[in-house]
Structures are given as structure tokens and as C-alpha cells.
């Protein structure tokens, strides 16, 4: 496979994962905002921008922070390279370039998602935005289903590899923002607002049922962190993404003969997660731990690009 095609497939995975995550983030933030906590709406949307890594970009627009402006920036803004529309446009461009390496069903799911947002200039009210995000999440699930039906060859491996790198970074940022920024001063840990925020996080990563099955004792912040960091059976956990990344790199390396720094970083990260205990993570500082993980994930992404000679 040409390096350019491999890069196209890898970025399809990243951009589709990013679009789905941001659509879920907007949907969950609307629902949290609708609970009507007085004087907290702007803070709620500020946290959503932080999770998406869009705080500086939104500030550069000069718009006043509010629900409508934040929703538009996260979903439809062409000025935001990580917005849902920008991500889907980039995924579609990469899919067109790698059309012969992608299944028909995969291409159609990407194209339908793009058509959902192509002609929109405004997200509308909250209900209209929810309708749009529901449609986008359905198309993202359609793409995921099409991917699972592809042959286990380089095409599948590179798309999936992109998904895992993007997913690990998104989950880590989501947890970091909750622990470091989200709970307002004066609000009790374990209070109503705190519980609503944790339920929102579980909703974003489609993990409410998984949490109830694994932790029958009820909602506990450290157990949510345990689920999303260390539980290997949770498809959106850091451990799951790290383990799958190691396997995908091994498959790609065996086929292409290119193994190196990316494999080393990925194996080192997996070993760290396999030996970690959630109590130790908290004792040493969750924010610091997650910040290091995010930096390592970015370094792994750069190493993958170099190892497979992405243009």
C-alpha cells in the first residue's frame, strides 16, 4: 500500500472518531445545560470547548461565550478545524482519495454524514441541534458497522489505528476537564451537580449501562475514572485503545516491514496501563497523569506518521 493511501485511511479513522465524539459532546452538554443550574450555563459550555481542545480557537472568534455560539463553533464552524463539519469534510476528502481501499458501505456512511451538515449555516435551537447530532451519531455507527465488515487487511488496520489514537486522546481530555475544571467552587463533590456531570461523561462515551454492570455500588467518581482508564473490556477506555493500538501496529508492521519507534511507545504505554492501580493514579495526581498520557498519545501519533512515512 502506498504511504499516501495509508495516511488517507488513518485520517479517515481519526476524523470520523472526532466527528462522532464532538457530536456526542454537544448533545450531552445540551442535556446538562437544560438542567437549569443557575449561572452555570457559560461554565458548562466552556468545559465542552475545553474537552474538544477548542478554547483558544473560540476565543479568537471574539464571540461572547454562550450556548448557541459554542454549539455553532463545535458543530458547524468552518473556522474550527475540529468542528463536526470540518472533521466530516476532511474525512470525506480522505475517503475520496482512498476510495479504492475503502468499502462502498464505509464511503456511503461518510458521505451521508457529510450531507447532513453540508448546507447548514446554523445549528438552530437546542432541539434542532439534538436532532442533528442524533442523525450524525447514527451515521457514525453506520461507518463503524461498515468498518467491522471489512477484510482484516491494511485498509482496516490503518482506519482502526486512527480511531484508537483519536479515541485515547478524547477520553483522556474528557476526564481531565471534569477533574480539573468542571465542578464550580462551592459545589460539593457527590452533590446533585457533580452526579449530573458524571452521568453526562458516561453518556458521552456510551458507558452508562457498562458502568452499572461493572460497579453495582453506585456512581463514584474514582470508579468512573477506573472504568475509562483501566478497564480493558470497556471499548472507549484508555487501556482498550492502548491494547488495540499495539495489535494494529504489529499487524501493519508485519505486512509493511515497518516497525520502530511507534511500536516502542505503544508497548511502553500499554505496560504502564496494565500495571497501574487507580488509587496510585489519584495519589500521584490525576491531572498530571492524564496530561502525561495526552502528551504521550500525541507523540505516538507523530511516531506513526514518521514510521509509515505519511506525506
pLDDT for res 1: 80
133-145 pLDDT, tens digit each: 999 999 999 999 9
Task: Look over the chain and give the mean of its residue pLDDT values, rounded to a whole number.
Answer: 90
**How confident is residue 192, by pLDDT bands cut at 50, 70 and 90?**
low
pLDDT score of 206 more than 80 = yes
Torsion sign (Cα): 306, 148, 290, 61: positive
Q: Identify the H or E element spanning 270.
A: helix 261-275
Q: Cell digits for 207?
A: 458507558
248-278 pLDDT, tens digit each: 999 999 888 889 999 999 999 999 999 999 9
Q: Which of 114-118, 186-190, 246-250 has the lowest mean pLDDT?
A: 186-190
Domain count along the chain: 1
Nearest to 233 by CA among 219, 213, 216, 251: 213
280-310 pLDDT, tens digit each: 998 888 889 999 999 999 999 999 999 999 9
pTM of the complete model? 0.92
Range of the domain at 277: 3-307
**How confident is residue 193, by pLDDT bands cut at 50, 70 and 90?**
low
Compute CA 248 distance to the chain's CA centroid, rounded to the nearest angstrom.
18
pLDDT for res 181: 52
In the chain, what is the straight-line distance between the N-terminal and C-terminal CA atoms, in Å? 14
pLDDT for res 177: 83
Kindly write down the DSSP assignment for every residue of 138-203, as one continuous string: HHHHHHHHHHHTS-SSHHHHHHHHHHHHHHHHHHHHHHHHIIIIISPTTPPTTSHHHHHHHHHHHH
pLDDT score of 158 more than 90 = yes
13-45 pLDDT, tens digit each: 999 999 999 999 999 888 878 776 545 678 888
215-237 pLDDT, tens digit each: 998 888 889 999 999 999 999 99
- In this prediction, what percent of the chain has a pLDDT beyond 70? 93
Measured distance CA(301)–CA(17) in Å, rounded: 15
Is the Cβ–Cβ distance between 196 and 32 less than 8 Å? yes
pLDDT score of 188 more than 80 = no
pLDDT for res 117: 94
Measured distance CA(103)–CA(149) in Å, rounded: 9
pLDDT for res 184: 47
pLDDT for res 44: 82
Compute CA 39 distance to the chain's CA centroid, rounded to the nearest angstrom.
28
Mean pLDDT of 85-112: 95
pLDDT score of 204 more than 90 = no
Amino acid at each position: 500500500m502506498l504511504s499516501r493511501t495509508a495516511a488517507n485511511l488513518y485520517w479517515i479513522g481519526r476524523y470520523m472518531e472526532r466527528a462522532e465524539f464532538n457530536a456526542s459532546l454537544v448533545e450531552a452538554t445540551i442535556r446538562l445545560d437544560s438542567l437549569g443550574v443557575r449561572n452555570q450555563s457559560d461554565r458548562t459550555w466552556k468545559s465542552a470547548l475545553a474537552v474538544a481542545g477548542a478554547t483558544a480557537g473560540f476565543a479568537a472568534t471574539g464571540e461572547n461565550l454562550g450556548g448557541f455560539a459554542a454549539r455553532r463553533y463545535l458543530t458547524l464552524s468552518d473556522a474550527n478545524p475540529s468542528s463536526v463539519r470540518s472533521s466530516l469534510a476532511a474525512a470525506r476528502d480522505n475517503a475520496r482519495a482512498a476510495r479504492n481501499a475503502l468499502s462502498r458501505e464505509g464511503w456511503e456512511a461518510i458521505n451521508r454524514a457529510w450531507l447532513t451538515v453540508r448546507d447548514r449555516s446554523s445549528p438552530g435551537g437546542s432541539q434542532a441541534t439534538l436532532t442533528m447530532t442524533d442523525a450524525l451519531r447514527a451515521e457514525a455507527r453506520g461507518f463503524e458497522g461498515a468498518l467491522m465488515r471489512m477484510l482484516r487487511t491494511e485498509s482496516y488496520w490503518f482506519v482502526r489505528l486512527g480511531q484508537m489514537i483519536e479515541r485515547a486522546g478524547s477520553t483522556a481530555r474528557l476526564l481531565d476537564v471534569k477533574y480539573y475544571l468542571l465542578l464550580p467552587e462551592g459545589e460539593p463533590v457527590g452533590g446533585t451537580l457533580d452526579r449530573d456531570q458524571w452521568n453526562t461523561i458516561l453518556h458521552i462515551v456510551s458507558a452508562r449501562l457498562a458502568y452499572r454492570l461493572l460497579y453495582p455500588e453506585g456512581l463514584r467518581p474514582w470508579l468512573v475514572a477506573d472504568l475509562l482508564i483501566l478497564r480493558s473490556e470497556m471499548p472507549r477506555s484508555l487501556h482498550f485503545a492502548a491494547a488495540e493500538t499495539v495489535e494494529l501496529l504489529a499487524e501493519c508492521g508485519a505486512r509493511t516491514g515497518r516497525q520502530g519507534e511507534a511500536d516502542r511507545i505503544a508497548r511502553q504505554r500499554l505496560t504502564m496501563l496494565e500495571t497501574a492501580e487507580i488509587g496510585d493514579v489519584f495519589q500521584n495526581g490525576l491531572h498530571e497523569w492524564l496530561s502525561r498520557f495526552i502528551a504521550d498519545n500525541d507523540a505516538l501519533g507523530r511516531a506513526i506518521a514518521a514510521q509509515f512515512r505519511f506525506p
